[in-house]
Amino acid sequence: MFAIDKLSRTPIYEQLIDQFELCILSGDIGPEGQLPSVRYLSQTLSVNPNTLQRAYAEIERRGLCYTVPGNGRYIAKDALIKLREAAESKTSEFEELVSELKGKGVKMETLVGIVNRVYSGEGKVIAE
Amino acid sequence: MITAKDLTKKFDSFTALNALNCKIPEGCIYGMVGSNGAGKSTLLRLVSGIYKADGGSVEIDGENVYDNPKIKGRLVFVPDELYFLPRASLLRMAKLYSSIYERFSYDRFKELTAAFRLDPNANIGTFSKGMKRQAATILALSCKADYILFDETFDGLDPVMRNLVKNLLYNDVMERNATAVITSHSLRELEDTCDQLSLLHKGGIIFESDIGNLKTSLFKVQVAFEGEYDRSRFEGIEMLSFVKHGSVASIIIRGDREETTAKIKAMQPILFEILPLSLEEVFVYEMGALGYEFSDVLKQEVE
C-alpha cells in the first residue's frame, strides 16, 4: 500500500505524508478506518520510527486522522472532504494554465478532449 | 541521554576533541559525519568509557561513564577495530557477552547468526573482514543495550545485511526507546537512517540538526521573469545562494515553503519550479552560510 522511494530527492517524511493522502483520496482506507501502526510500517518499509511518528503527527495536525490512546490511529470522518477542498483550490492553477495555453494557440477541443479522456478513466493519470 | 560538556581529549600534542558539546536524547538515532581525524571515533570511545577525558565531561543519564560498570552495562560499542578472544567461536563470545550484559538474548543471537549465515561454532579468526564485522554486529545487537554505538559499522556490510541491521535497530528504538549513535562516511546512508545529524570537524561539532527540519526548511527554486531582474527583486526572502544563467535564476531559500511560494508567485514569474535538495546539497549551503567550505571539511587530509 505504501511505497517509499529511497533514492528520491523528496524527503522520506514528505513522501510518507503524500502516501497517506493518496491512501485517503483513493479510498484504500475509508473514514474511521485504522491506519497501520508505526511499528508495522517501520519494519515493512525499513523507515526510522521517529520519522514515521513525525509524519503521523503532521497529518494529525492537518486534521486528517486522530489517535485513540492505546488503540491506534484512525482516519478522520471529514478527511476526504478536507483533501478535496484542498484540491479544489488548485483549480485556479488549472485556469491559469488553460489561459496560458489558449494564448499560445492551443485549440479548445484539444483541452476538452484531454479532460474528457482523464475523467472517463483512459489515458494516463498523473498522481502527484 | 548522552551529554558531553566541553569535552576535550588530547594525544600528545594533537587535540582530537576540542571542548565539544552535544546532547543525544533517548530514542534517537544520531548520525555523525566528518573527515578522517575529525574526532568521531574519539568521541565514541569517550562516550563508551574507553578513554578518560582530558577536560570536560561526558555523562549518560547524568552519570560519568569512565570506570562506571553500571552504566557500561547499558551500552554496547562496535569499534572500527574489532577484538575477539583468540581462537574463540561466536558461541564462546556470546558466553562472554552474556556474563557482562544482563539482558543478553540468546534467542536473538540464534536468530541473527542464522540470518547472517554464520556458523556459531567456527573460529572467528578464520572469518573474512566483512564476516568479522557481522559477528561483532550480532553480538552487539544481542545485548539489548540501551545505548548502541556503531563506528562505521554500516560501511562494511552489504545492502541486504544493512537493511536487516537497520530494522533491528528500529525495533530496539521502538520497543525499548534505545538510542543509537552511528558514524559513517556516507551521507546518503545516514540520511535514510538517522533522525539527528551532526558534522564534526577538527575536534568540534560545527553543525547539528534534525534531519526533517534540515530538509524541509531549505529548498531550491528555479524562476524566470519577463524582462531584466536581479537579486534585489527577492527582498524579504532569505537566500543562501543566487545564481542566474540567462533569464533563469536558481535560488537556495531558507524558510516556509508555502509562504515563499505565494510570495514569488505574486511576482508573476514565467517559470517557477521548486526542487527539494539532497542532504549533501543542504550541507554545502548550510556550511557555506557558516563560513566553512564543505569540500574542505569532508575532503580527507592528504599529506
Instruction: Please report, for chain B, the start and end positions of each structural domain, with discontinuous segments joined by +.
Output: 2-210, 217-298
* Residue A1: inside a domain: no
- Domain B217-298 fold is Alpha-Beta Plaits (3.30.70)
In chain B, the residue whose alpha carbon lies closest to the alpha carbon of A11 is B215
A98 plus A53 within the same structural domain: no
Taking the alpha carbons of B259, B264, B270, B271 in that order, is the dihedral positive or negative? negative
With pLDDT > 90 as the criterion, what percentage of chain A qualifies?
19
Across the interface, do B29 and A48 touch by the CB < 8 Å criterion? yes
Number of A–B residue contacts, CB under 8 Å: 50
Across the interface, do A48 and B195 touch by the CB < 8 Å criterion? yes
Please tell me if residue A104 touches chain B, with a CB cutoff of 8 Å.
no
Q: Are A124 and A117 in contact (CB under 8 A)?
A: no
What pLDDT is recorded for position B291?
Answer: 72
Q: Which residues of A touch B115 (CB under 8 A)?
A: none
Q: What pLDDT digit, counting tens, does each position of A38-95 carry?
A: 999 999 998 999 999 989 999 999 999 999 988 889 999 888 888 888 888 888 888 8
What pLDDT is recorded for position B106?
Answer: 95
Binning chain A into helix, strand and coil, the percentages to the nearest 5 are 55, 5, 40
Q: Which residues of A touch B195 (CB under 8 A)?
A: 48, 50-51
A22 plus A59 within the same structural domain: yes
C-alpha A68/C-alpha B298 separation (Å) is: 46
Domain that holds residue A49: 12-82
Q: What is the DSSP string of A15-51?
A: HHHHHHHHHHHTTSS-TTPBPPPHHHHHHHHT--HHH
User: Of B29, B194, B212, which has the smallest distance from its Cβ to A13's Cβ?
Assistant: B212
**For B180, phi and psi rounded to 5 degrees?**
-120, 140
Dihedral, A97, A105, B246, B221 alpha carbons, nearest 10: 10
ipTM of predicted complex: 0.72
The CATH number for A45's domain is 1.10.10.10
pLDDT higher than threshold 70 for residue A128: no
Q: What is the DSSP string of B104-143?
A: --HHHHHHHHHHHT--TTSBGGGS-HHHHHHHHHHHHHHT
A60 plus A97 within the same structural domain: no
What pLDDT is recorded for position B299?
Answer: 55
CB burial readout B141-159, b (16+ within 10 A) else e: bbbbbbbbbbbbbbebbee
User: Of B163, B194, B216, which has the smallest distance from its Cβ to A11's Cβ?
Assistant: B216
Q: Identify the helix (H) or strand (E) that includes residue A65.
A: strand A65-68
Between B273 and A128, residue with greater pLDDT: B273
- Structural domain tally of chain A? 2
A105 plus A53 within the same structural domain: no
- Please report the beta strands in chain B, taking only residues with DSSP state E, as ranges in sequence order: 2-11, 14-24, 29-34, 55-60, 63-64, 75-78, 147-151, 179-183, 196-201, 204-210, 218-224, 238-245, 248-254, 271-276
Across the interface, do A42 and B174 touch by the CB < 8 Å criterion? yes
In terms of DSSP bridges, do strands B29-34 and B179-183 run parallel, antiparallel, or are they unpaired? parallel
User: Of B28, B170, B216, which has the smallest distance from its Cβ to A43's Cβ?
Assistant: B170
What pLDDT is recorded for position B220?
Answer: 87
What pLDDT is recorded for position B181?
Answer: 95
A78 plus A16 within the same structural domain: yes
C-alpha A48/C-alpha B167 separation (Å) is: 8
A19 plus A46 within the same structural domain: yes
A16 plus A62 within the same structural domain: yes
Q: Which residues of B touch A10 (CB under 8 A)?
A: 276
Mean pLDDT of chain A: 85
Q: Which residues of B touch A39 (CB under 8 A)?
A: 174
C-alpha B182/C-alpha B79 separation (Å) is: 11
Q: Are B109 and B96 in contact (CB under 8 A)?
A: no
Please tell me if residue A47 touches chain B, with a CB cutoff of 8 Å.
yes
Q: For B2-210, give the CATH class.
A: alpha beta
Q: Which residues of A touch B275 (CB under 8 A)?
A: 9
A58 plus A28 within the same structural domain: yes
Please tell me if residue A10 touches chain B, with a CB cutoff of 8 Å.
yes
* Cell numbers describing residue B54: 582530558
Across the interface, do A13 and B215 touch by the CB < 8 Å criterion? yes
Place of cell 534467542: B107
User: Along the 303 residues of chain B, how does pLDDT read in single tens digits?
Assistant: 999 999 999 999 999 999 999 999 999 999 998 877 889 999 999 999 999 999 999 999 999 999 999 999 999 999 988 999 999 999 999 999 999 999 999 999 999 999 889 999 999 999 988 899 999 999 999 999 999 999 988 777 888 888 888 998 999 999 889 999 999 877 778 888 898 989 888 888 888 888 877 777 788 888 988 888 888 888 888 888 888 888 888 898 888 888 888 888 888 888 888 887 877 787 778 777 777 776 666 554 443
pLDDT higher than threshold 70 for residue A116: yes
Please tell me if residue A42 touches chain B, with a CB cutoff of 8 Å.
yes
What pLDDT is recorded for position B296?
Answer: 63
A62 plus A105 within the same structural domain: no
What pLDDT is recorded for position B238?
Answer: 86
* Residue A5: inside a domain: no
C-alpha B31/C-alpha B185 separation (Å) is: 10
* Residue A4: inside a domain: no
Place of cell 492537518: A62
In chain A, the residue whose alpha carbon lies closest to the alpha carbon of B190 is A48
What pLDDT is recorded for position B301?
Answer: 44
* Residue A112: inside a domain: yes
Taking the alpha carbons of B298, B300, B302, B303 in that order, is the dihedral positive or negative? positive
What pLDDT is recorded for position A127?
Answer: 45
What pLDDT is recorded for position B41?
Answer: 92
A65 plus A98 within the same structural domain: no
Q: Which residues of B touch A38 (CB under 8 A)?
A: 174
What pLDDT is recorded for position B125?
Answer: 93
C-alpha B71/C-alpha B49 separation (Å) is: 9
What pLDDT is recorded for position B295?
Answer: 64
